[in-house]
Amino acid sequence: MTPREYGIQCIKDEAQALLDLIPLIDNEFNRAVELMLNCKGKVIVTGVGKSGHIGAKIAATLASTGTPSFFINPLDVYHGDLGVMTHDDVVLAISNSGATDELLRFIPMVLHMEIPIIGMTGNPKSLLAKYSTCHLNVHVAHEACPLNLAPTSSTTATLAMGDALAVALMEQRHFQPQDFAHFHPGGELGKRLLTTAQDVMRSEDLPMLTPEMRLGDAVILVSKGKLGLGIAEKDGQVMGIITDGDIRRAMEKWQAEFFNRTVSDIMTTTPKTVKPDTKITEIQRIMHQYKIHSVLVIDAQRKLMGVVDSYSCMI
């Protein structure tokens, strides 16, 4: 086999391992979610070696999706870290064999503190499974490693089970995009979820028209505005908008008469509007739903504050 063929076979093996995991998700999964959902303290994830690396990622995913969680190495527990644990916590202990010595020596301490244990192993008959409050079976038939030794399919299955727990908990908590933003305030994701219309709207040099304005004059203002639209206003109230598309269709329809027509003849009297605190993600949803490129930002008195176009949303 070529290196490419080995790579393809590895991915196939790991994909099959994930599919084989589905029948193993039983009522124990529901119990695990219930324990974590009702946990008044923290979900403490623990594991050794590769299971520890996977556990650290699972803890990070849980913490970022509304379940207070952190990873602890069971070896550190023997040197003072046991003090971080309380009766209100839940322990998620990960070991593919379920017989990892360092982890098993940690379990009696947890049991003594009467802390529930969610065991995640590939062996439901293991000691870890036996002493767990509930057990999640992540058994795989074989590793993707050609020697069937290096943790490959097993770590992939464990990671997927951790993601499944996190997603189930998100659904149970009715976790929303704004909640996600609070845990991801930095970077592009945070900006998109936290930025509002007021943060990005254009509020100066807007192409303002009146309903009575002739289209010949309106075209000039729309062109100078560089927003692809003009806003019709009267007595401080938005009356409607005209877009480049409205103008092209009107020119095709009326031809030479176009310049004598008025803005009121072609304007949309019910333009899409948003409040200044509307999130950018919601504005993008509106634009996509109605196939438009801009929305008007209005205040509580329905007075125009600005315009948000699709370019403004590209933060």
**Quick one: pLDDT at residue 146?**
87
**Quick one: pLDDT at residue 34?**
97
Q: What topology does CATH give the domain 197-309?
A: CBS-domain (3.10.580)
Which CATH code, of 3.40.50.10490, 3.40.50.720, 2.60.120.260, 3.40.640.10, is assigned to 3-175? 3.40.50.10490
Domain boundaries, the chain: 3-175, 197-309
> What is the Cα–Cα distance from 68 to 61, expressed in whole angstroms?
10
Residue 151's closest CA among 165, 140, 166, 164? 140
**Gyration radius of the chain's alpha carbons:** 30
Helix %, strand %, coil % of the chain (to 5): 50, 20, 35
Whether the full predicted model's pTM is greater than 0.85, yes or no, is no
> What is the Cα–Cα distance from 22 to 217, expressed in whole angstroms?
66
251-274 pLDDT, tens digit per residue, is 999 988 888 899 999 999 999 999
55-109 pLDDT, tens digit per residue, is 999 999 999 888 999 999 887 766 556 668 889 999 999 999 999 998 898 888 8
**Quick one: pLDDT at residue 23?**
96
Task: Supply angle C-alpha 295, 298, 302, rounded to 5.
Answer: 130
Q: Which two tokens stand for residue 115?
A: 């802390």
The 8-class DSSP code of residue 289 comes to H
- Positions in the chain short of pLDDT 70: 77-83, 177-192, 315
> What is the Cα–Cα distance from 126 to 93, expressed in whole angstroms?
13
> What is the Cα–Cα distance from 209 to 238, expressed in whole angstroms?
10
